[in-house]
C-alpha cells in the first residue's frame, strides 16, 4: 500500500535502556532436542471468522449502538503535546456524526455533493469522514501537504461544493477561496462561527443539526446507501492533469473490514495508534473503519517528534506504519540498548525466547519489558505497508514478541489486496491475497516473476472522468498493479520490483514521473525528458533524476551559441529549479543528466524507460569489468 504523504522522520529519543534482570532468565536450562520435536508437532493457527459488511453505514449503525460506552478517539486538544488525551466515546462520536450529517444536508443543503476534507488527523476529520460517507454525499480527502495551487486544482477537478478544513489550513484556504466560486461553503474544524457568507464553523453546523434531530428529523439516518454507488474520491498523486482520481464505493471500503477480519483478530480493548495521514485509504480504512467495526479505540499521534511520550501515555496495542517508521524505531531502540552494553545479552535472549515460544512458552513480554514500556507497554501488532522493508527489521520485531504483519495494495484497491495472516506470518512476504481478492502473476519469467494483477471486491469503480485510463488499467476485471513479484507454492505474495513507472520512496511515497515530465516539457530549453529514481551507491533513497535532451535550437536562440556542456547544464538546471517550486518537496528533481542521442521509443513514440535504464546497468557492469 502506498502512502501519499512526505513522511519525514524528526529526531526523537528513547531513554537509555538498562535491560536489567535478564541474566537470571538467561540461566534457564533449555532442552533444544525436545524443543525441535515439539516444534514439528505444533499446529499452525487457523483463520478467524470473517465479517460480511456491505456498507460503511451498516458498520456505523451497529457500532454506535453496540459499543456506545467504549472510547473511539483519543486526541490531545489542539494537538498540544503537553495536554492530556481527551476521550470521545462511540456514543458522542455517533451523535456528532449524525448531527453534522443532518446539518450538512438540511442546514447547508449539501445533499449528494462532493465535499473536500483537508487537515491533520483530528477528531473532526473522523467525524467529517463518517458523516459524508453515511448519508451526505461523496467524501474527497486530500493531502494537507499539497501547495496551494494543487489544493485549488483538486477542489476544481473534483467539482466540490464544500471544503472542510482544519485551523492549520485556514491560511491556505483563505488564499485560494476567491478562485473557487463553485464552492458553496468553507467549513472550519474546531470552530463554532455562524454562517458568514460562505464561511462557517463545523461546531455551528453540528449544533444546527442537533436542533433538527432533537425536533425529530431522522432524514440523515434514513438515507439508504447503495453499496455500489461512487461515494469516495481520492487522487493517486498530485493534482496536475496527469493525476488520477480513484472512485471508491461503500462495498470497496466495507470489504477491507471483512478481509482483515479473517486474518487478524481485533478486540474491544485494542487501541490503534494513528501516525499516518487519514487522506490515504490505508489509514482511513484499516486505521479508522476497521477499529470502529470492532469497538476499538484510536489514539491520534500529536506529531512524530512526540511519538514516544504519546505511545507511553496512550498505551496502544497496534500501529499501522510505513517501513521508514519501523526502521527508525528499530534503530533508536537498538542504539539505546548498545549504550547500555547489553546488546549481546539481548541477542542471546532472543534465541532462548524464540526456542521457548516454539513450544508454547512465551516469556518475551517479561524478558523485553523495558522495550515494551517505552512503546506504551501494550503493543502487540505492528503492520508495515507502502514499500519494501528490510527482512532483518521485520524479524527483529517478531523476535521481541510483537506480531509483525505486512500488507499490500494500492489506492485503486482501496487499498487492501494481500495481508499477512496472524496464523502464519512469513517475513519478506506481503501475505496472502485477502478473501475477496485474487492475485495472479501475469507473464511470469523463468523465475516465476511477473506483473502482479489483482481482481478484488475492493477494486475501484474506475478513474474519475477518465474512461480511457480505466480501460487501460483494468482488463476483464483484472487490475494491472504494475508491480513485479511472484507467489510461492502456498500462495504467499512477494513483491520484488517497483511499479512500471512509479518511483516509490523509502517512506512509501509514490511519485508519478509523467506528472513531473509534463511540467518540464514546458521549458523551451528542453526537447525531451525522462524522470526516474536513480539508485546511488551508499544511498538508501532513490534520487529523483531528470534525463534531458537539450533543445539546442532554443538554447542558442535564447542564450547564444558555442556554449559549453557545463553552461548548458546550468541553464537547464536553473529552469528545473523554478519547476521544483511548483512541486511538493519529495517530488522535486534533485539531479540533472544531459543526453544528446535519442531515447529508445515504442512505435507510439513512448519512451521505453526500461531500455533506457538498462543502458545504465550495462554501462556500470562494463565499467566494473574494465576495472577488474
Mean pLDDT of the chain: 89
- 91 has a pLDDT exceeding 80: yes
Mean pLDDT check: name the lowest of 53-62, 133-142, 145-154, 501-510. Answer: 501-510
pLDDT tens across 317-332, in order?
999 998 878 988 988 8
Contact status, residue 260 vs residue 290, Cβ threshold 8 Å: yes
The pLDDT value recorded for residue 8 is 54
- Answer yes or no: are the C-beta atoms of 410 and 3 closer than 8 Å: no
Q: Round to whole Å and give the CA distance between 334 and 331.
A: 5
What pLDDT sits at residue 472? 92
Query: Could you report the per-residue pLDDT of 180-237, keeping only the tens digit for each?
Result: 999 999 999 999 999 999 999 999 999 999 999 999 999 999 999 999 999 999 998 5
Report how far residue 401's alpha carbon sits from residue 375's, in angstroms, rounded to the nearest whole number.
13
Residue 344 in grid coordinates: 549481546
The residue with cell 464552492 is 183
**What digits encode the pLDDT tens for the residues 6-46?**
455 556 777 777 776 665 665 555 554 554 544 444 445 68
Enter the CATH code of domain 56-288: 3.40.50.12780
CB 508 within 8 A of CB 389: no
SS3 for 322-337, per residue?
Answer: CHHHHHHHHHHHHHHH
Q: Topology of domain 22-43+322-422+437-497, per CATH?
A: Luciferase; domain 3 (2.30.38)
Tell me the mean pLDDT in the region 270-283: 94
In this structure, which long-range contacts are made by residues 500-504, counting pairs with CB atoms below 8 Å and at least 24 apart in sequence?
500/609, 501/609, 502/2, 503/531, 503/532, 503/533, 503/542, 503/544, 504/2, 504/386, 504/387, 504/533, 504/542
CATH of 503-627, one of 3.30.1330.30, 3.90.25.10, 3.30.300.30, 3.40.30.10: 3.30.300.30
Higher-pLDDT residue of 276, 45: 276
Sign of the torsion formed by the C-alpha atoms of 169, 196, 187 and 93: positive
**pLDDT single digits (tens) 576-596:** 999 999 888 888 999 999 998
pLDDT digits (tens, 9 = 90+) for 280-305: 899 999 999 999 999 999 999 999 88
pLDDT at 251 > cutoff 70:
yes
Residue 455, pLDDT > 80, answer yes
Every domain of the chain and the residues it spans: 22-43+322-422+437-497, 56-288, 503-627
Predicted pLDDT of residue 446: 81
pLDDT band, residue 51 (cuts 50/70/90): very high
Amino acid at each position: 500500500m502506498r502512502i501519499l504523504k512526505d513522511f519525514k522522520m524528526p529526531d526523537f529519543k528513547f531513554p537509555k535502556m538498562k535491560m536489567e534482570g535478564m541474566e537470571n532468565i538467561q540461566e534457564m536450562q533449555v532442552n533444544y532436542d525436545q524443543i525441535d520435536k515439539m516444534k514439528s508437532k505444533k499446529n499452525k493457527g487457523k483463520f478467524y471468522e470473517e465479517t460480511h459488511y456491505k456498507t460503511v453505514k451498516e458498520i456505523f449503525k451497529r457500532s454506535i449502538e453496540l459499543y456506545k460506552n467504549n472510547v473511539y478517539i483519543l486526541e490531545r486538544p489542539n494537538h498540544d503535546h503537553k495536554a492530556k488525551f481527551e476521550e470521545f466515546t462511540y456514543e458522542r462520536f455517533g451523535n456528532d456524526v449524525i448531527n453534522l450529517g443532518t446539518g450538512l444536508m438540511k442546514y447547508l443543503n449539501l445533499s449528494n455533493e462532493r465535499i473536500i476534507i483537508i487537515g491533520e488527523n483530528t477528531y473532526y476529520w473522523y467525524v467529517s469522514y463518517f458523516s459524508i460517507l453515511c448519508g451526505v454525499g461523496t467524501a474527497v480527502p486530500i493531502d494537507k501537504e499539497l501547495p496551494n495551487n494543487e489544493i485549488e486544482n483538486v477542489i476544481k477537478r473534483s467539482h466540490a461544493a464544500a471544503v472542510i478544513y482544519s485551523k492549520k489550513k485556514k491560511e491556505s484556504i483563505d488564499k485560494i477561496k476567491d478562485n473557487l466560486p463553485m464552492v458553496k461553503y468553507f467549513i472550519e474544524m474546531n470552530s463554532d462561527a455562524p454562517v458568514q457568507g460562505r464561511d462557517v464553523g463545523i461546531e455551528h453546523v453540528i449544533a444546527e443539526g442537533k436542533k433538527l434531530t432533537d425536533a425529530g428529523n431522522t432524514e440523515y439516518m434514513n438515507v439508504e446507501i447503495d453499496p455500489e454507488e461512487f461515494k469516495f474520491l481520492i487522487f493517486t498523486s498530485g493534482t496536475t492533469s496527469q493525476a488520477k482520481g480513484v472512485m471508491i464505493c461503500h462495498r470497496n471500503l466495507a470489504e477491507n473490514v471483512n478481509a482483515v477480519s479473517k486474518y487478524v483478530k481485533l478486540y474491544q480493548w485494542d487501541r490503534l495508534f494513528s501516525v499516518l495521514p487519514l487522506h490515504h485509504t490505508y489509514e482511513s480504512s484499516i486505521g479508522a473503519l476497521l477499529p470502529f467495526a470492532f469497538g476499538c479505540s484510536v489514539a491520534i499521534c500529536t506529531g512524530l517528534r512526540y511519538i514516544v511520550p504519546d505511545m507511553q501515555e496512550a498505551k496502544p496495542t497496534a500501529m499501522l506504519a510505513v517501513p521508514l517508521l519501523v526502521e527508525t524505531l528499530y534503530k533508536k531502540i537498538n542504539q539505546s540498548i548498545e549504550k547500555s552494553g547489553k546488546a549481546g545479552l539481548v541477542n542471546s535472549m532472543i534465541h532462548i525466547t524464540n526456542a521457548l515460544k516454539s513450544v508454547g512458552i512465551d516469556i518475551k513480554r517479561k524478558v523485553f519489558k523495558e522495550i515494551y514500556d517505552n512503546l506504551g507497554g501494550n503493543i502487540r501488532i505492528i503492520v508495515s505497508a507502502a514499500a519494501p522493508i528490510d527482512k532483518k527489521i521485520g524479524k527483529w520485531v517478531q523476535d521481541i514478541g510483537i506480531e509483525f504483519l505486512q500488507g499490500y495494495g494500492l489506492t485503486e484497491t482501496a487499498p487492501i489486496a494481500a495481508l499477512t495472516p496472524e496464523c502464519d506470518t512469513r517475513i519478506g512476504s506481503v501475505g496472502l491475497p485477502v478473501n475477496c481478492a485474487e492475485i495472479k502473476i501475469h507473464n511470469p519469467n523463468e523465475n516465476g516473476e511477473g506483473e502482479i494483477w489483482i481482481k478484488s471486491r475492493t477494486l475501484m469503480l474506475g478513474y474519475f472522468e477518465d474512461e480511457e485510463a480505466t480501460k487501460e488499467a483494468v482488463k476483464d476485471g483484472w487490475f494491472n498493479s504494475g508491480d513485479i513479484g511472484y507467489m510461492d507454492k502456498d500462495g504467499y505474495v512477494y513483491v520484488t520490483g517497483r511499479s512500471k513507472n512509479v518511483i516509490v520512496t523509502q517512506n512509501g511515497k509514490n511519485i508519478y514521473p509523467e506528472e513531473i515530465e509534463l511540467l518540464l516539457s514546458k521549458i523551451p530549453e528542453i526537447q525531451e525528458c525522462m524522470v526516474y529514481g536513480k539508485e546511488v551507491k551508499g544511498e538508501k533513497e532513490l534520487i529523483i533524476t531528470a534525463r534531458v535532451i537539450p533543445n539546442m535550437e532554443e538554447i542558442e536562440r535564447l542564450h547564444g551559441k558555442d556554449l559549453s556542456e557545463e553552461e548548458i547544464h546550468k541553464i537547464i538546471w536553473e529552469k528545473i529549479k523554478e519547476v521544483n517550486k511548483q512541486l511538493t518537496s519529495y517530488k522535486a528533481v534533485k539531479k540533472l543528466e544531459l543526453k544528446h542521442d535519442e531515447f529508445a521509443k515504442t512505435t507510439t513514440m513512448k519512451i521505453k524507460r526500461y531500455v533506457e535504464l538498462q543502458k545504465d546497468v550495462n554501462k556500470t557492469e562494463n565499467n566494473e569489468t574494465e576495472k577488474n
